A and B are shown apart, each in its own frame.
Chain A
């Protein structure tokens, strides 16, 4: 069980440390002020991932290109010839660019389950178009687990983003509390000391991420784990 306040405090603290350690796209805390003076927030980041299946991506682009022809007779803009741009280089990189997708991760507190929840979306790095479900799934480590293991992992469903309202996918939180209790119980068995239990609770969010993160290609910096003795 994680309180809303603990979620916020641990998130902001985690972000500060994480962003200092590694030079990836940083995490950002988004504070949202509601009209009813209720305040809530979540933290978010992006990751770039080389795609596994070229065929799907190419098919997707072909569909987009067909649809793009809807704008016909578009007056061409003639721009000054620019010797100082890298257009030629871009065409060389074009093939690589099509093979990279962007994952966006939002971590939002769930009031009903009282746990953090991971929301994700996938985009083409080429034109920002959202990926199909199959493209997202095939590029998550989750899809590599065999069939028997899949029944023990969080299940992903499409939902409306609880704050922004746009469609996205979530790792369903229904088992998160049980999962974290197992971790807590393990600590308790190891040491009945109440201090130990209290110590563990301070790192609820990082512990949760250390389990959920690898399923979706969120790599936690080793220094962060080491410094917190997890």
Chain B
């Protein structure tokens, strides 16, 4: 009984470096050419039965082999690998790829093998039996590649049969002589037996390659009526099936030696402990005679047989394969991964407890896109913050770019861009994965009267501002005037958002994080930045040290005084501290409810791995000094006290409008006026406050620091 021999197909493995090289070649050399290009592929032994035999293409597939010029790079086979000759057909459009004459190209490759067998080329180089074609469409812009492999195997008229029931498994001891040898792709060998009293030991020894010894050996076997023993290096490791390279080898033998009827084939699979070489006993096909007759009849020697070998997909269909390298070659994604990985460098090398994911998901609203806004944004982005929203109402002027680091001259001329929009665009240019948004409006301010006709637009602006505050985790106050900070301070307090305020004088700055009230008392306002709302402590805000309401401080200012009366380095210093203060707060388990620390001894450990978390810092550039300070929230504060928040919660927009039109109502609502009334007969210098001395000292000092 005979059994049909079944061969294991190749699977392709195309290294990413091949596609990279093809892209470079197409851009630099091929351009729109669609000429075929020779390729070098290779295969080697498979280490596992679970793996298909791989036909591999690497970056050097385009190089020629047998190069005589020693300075030119040439294709070098990896160790214990065997050569496969290929042809690349690269198409410029998907339609060309679809309409390419695939069957003809495949048949051409088959004919070439057939011709090489008959004209004697195989006698000199058996690697020509292993050919493949590769059809590609390279969508370089999107880093996507479509491809098809065809690996032709000439078909005999009848399938090849085994004259034993199944292949014989060969133990590695009998192949010991093959160790430390570089075996040819196809070879002939002899089998020796040593008999002792109890056992028969078999060993195989190499006679030589088919190119060198094949003709002599096979003719001798025919003369002596012996079954010849040949071998090949088999990329397959299945116990019952040889690999694809055997198919054309058997065709070659049957054509060249038509009298040869039976043959034994060693499928050599290496000498490793898990290798499982097998020995096949085959009846050679009789196609040789038929094909010879056909050849004589046609007199042209044209290939008239059939062949198979298109690579199939997982459903067994012949279809294009697709590989997308966008995730590894897309510059946008490369930038994003690199930024992330470099932040992780800090964590891995210095500080394992860094909360990079928290930082990444924190969204920041920047009110003011001037010198502070630009610099705060740069630092936030450097820490990995991905969501930044700018708010500003003004446009970039000629004096801005030298101080405001996100702007360039092009933002002023020929047409001045809105600052917030220019800032967001600049961030995207610097890091495309940033989610930067911009809004153009001015913040309603106490003491800036609102005409009746503008009530609706002011209402819309307030609603927009409130929605933005709700949507973000952290609110940065980076505006030019005091009173523009009042409304966002009040709204942030009402919605339980962390608010960080940075303000500049000529040679001093203030950075303060506003307190977050105990959330148990106000469960209607859940806070993202303070999940442990019942723990920690409250803190004072920017306005807690005032006993007067914020009012219009712009009336008496000249244009030059609005934003330029400050030493240039001050903004970078204040901005970096404002950002670092946020990062420290993020790392505290209580978040925005972390109490303010004032420890100045650098050897005393702070509450987070990054050090202390101050409440506020005052910097004095004249003496290059920074002081951490602390103050409790003032229960009669004009911005954050319960009186104000309750008034807002009950009256909403009407309350805000009243404050806009007459800011003095704030001191009445929060109770400062009542305090004044109870002391009507006492001199102003006498202590009229219930708070401690620190607060009074800050209070007095605050009067002299009009930011």
Contact = CB atoms under 8 A, between A and B. Distances in A.
A84 B159 contact: yes
A157 B338 contact: yes
B219 interface: no
Scoring A75, A77, A102 by chain B CB atoms within 10 A of each residue's CB, the highest score goes to A77
A193 interface: no
Interface in A131-166: 132-133, 147-148, 150-151, 153, 155-158, 161, 164-166
Interface in B43-71: 44-45, 47-48, 50-52, 59-60, 71
Contacts of A27: 79
Nearest to A93: B50
B312 interface: yes
Interface in B321-335: 321-325, 327-329, 334
Contacts of B352: 147-148, 150-151
B13 A123 contact: yes
Contact of A167 (B275, B307, B328, B345): B328
B675 to A, nearest CB: 54
Nearest to A26: B79
B51 A48 contact: yes
Contact of B314 (A77, A94, A102, A155): A94
A123 B102 contact: no
Interface string B249-276: 0000000000000000000001111110
A121 interface: yes
B20 A165 contact: yes
Nearest to B179: A20
B349 A23 contact: no
A64 interface: yes
B282 to A, nearest CB: 12
A13 interface: no
Nearest to B14: A128
Contacts of A173: none
B310 A77 contact: yes
A25 interface: yes
Contacts of B60: 30
Contacts of B11: 125
A158 B337 contact: yes
A118 B322 CA distance: 29
B62 to A, nearest CB: 13
B6 interface: yes
A26 B80 CA distance: 7
A2 interface: no
Contact of A84 (B98, B103, B160, B349): B160
B383 interface: no
A125 B323 contact: no
Contact of A24 (B47, B321, B350): B47
Nearest to A27: B79
Interface string B227-264: 00000000000100100000100000000000000000
Contacts of B588: none
Contacts of B20: 164-166
Contact of B5 (A28, A31, A84): A84
Interface string B261-295: 00000000011111100000000000000000000
A97 interface: yes
B51 A125 contact: yes
B98 A73 contact: yes
Contact of B98 (A74, A132, A150): A74
A142 to B, nearest CB: 11
B52 A84 contact: no
A20 B98 CA distance: 46
A20 B329 CA distance: 37
Nearest to A63: B324
A165 B337 contact: no
Interface in A102-145: 102, 104, 121, 123, 125-130, 132-133
Contact of B347 (A85, A102, A151): A151
A48 B49 CA distance: 12
A83 B146 contact: no
Contacts of B320: 68, 71, 74
Contacts of B322: 64, 67-68, 70-71, 127
Interface range on chain B (Cβ under 8 Å from partner): 35 or more
A94 to B, nearest CB: 6
B7 interface: yes
B51 A19 contact: no
A70 to B, nearest CB: 7
A96 B50 contact: yes
A59 B349 CA distance: 32
B525 interface: no
Contact of B47 (A23, A73, A96): A23
Interface string B1-29: 00011111101111111011100100000
Interface in B303-324: 306-308, 310, 312, 314, 316-324
A229 interface: no
A101 B533 CA distance: 47
Contacts of B202: none
Interface in A1-48: 15, 19-20, 22-28, 30-33, 37, 48
Contacts of A28: 76, 78-79
B212 to A, nearest CB: 24
A229 B121 CA distance: 50
A90 B10 CA distance: 11
B398 interface: no
B694 to A, nearest CB: 41
Given A87-B312, A125-B51, A127-B321, A23 B341 contact: no
Interface in A50-81: 64, 67-68, 70-71, 73-77, 79-80
B49 to A, nearest CB: 8
B610 interface: no
B17 A86 contact: no
Nearest to A148: B352
A130 B334 CA distance: 14
A182 to B, nearest CB: 17
A227 interface: no
A223 B99 CA distance: 55
Contacts of A148: 352
Contacts of A230: none
A130 B60 CA distance: 19
Contact of B329 (A24, A153, A167): A167
A100 B50 contact: yes
Contacts of A15: 79
Scoring A23, A27, A73, A150 by chain B CB atoms within 10 A of each residue's CB, the highest score goes to A23
16 contacts: A33-B71, A64-B323, A67-B322, A71-B98, A71-B322, A77-B318, A84-B7, A86-B8, A86-B9, A100-B48, A125-B52, A127-B323, A128-B12, A130-B325, A167-B329, A167-B334
Interface of A: 15, 19-20, 22-28, 30-33, 37, 48, 64, 67-68, 70-71, 73-77, 79-80, 82-87, 89-91, 93-94, 96-97, 100, 102, 104, 121, 123, 125-130, 132-133, 147-148, 150-151, 153, 155-158, 161, 164-168, 172
**7 shortest A-B CB distances, which residue pairs?**
A23-B272, A166-B20, A26-B79, A28-B78, A68-B322, A157-B341, A167-B328
Interface of B: 4-9, 11-17, 19-21, 24, 44-45, 47-48, 50-52, 59-60, 71-73, 76, 78-80, 94, 97-99, 102-103, 144, 146, 155, 159-160, 180, 238, 241, 247, 270-275, 306-308, 310, 312, 314, 316-325, 327-329, 334, 337-338, 341-342, 344-345, 347-352
Given A90-B312, A148-B352, A150-B352, 6 more contacts: A84-B160, A84-B247, A85-B6, A151-B350, A158-B328, A167-B329
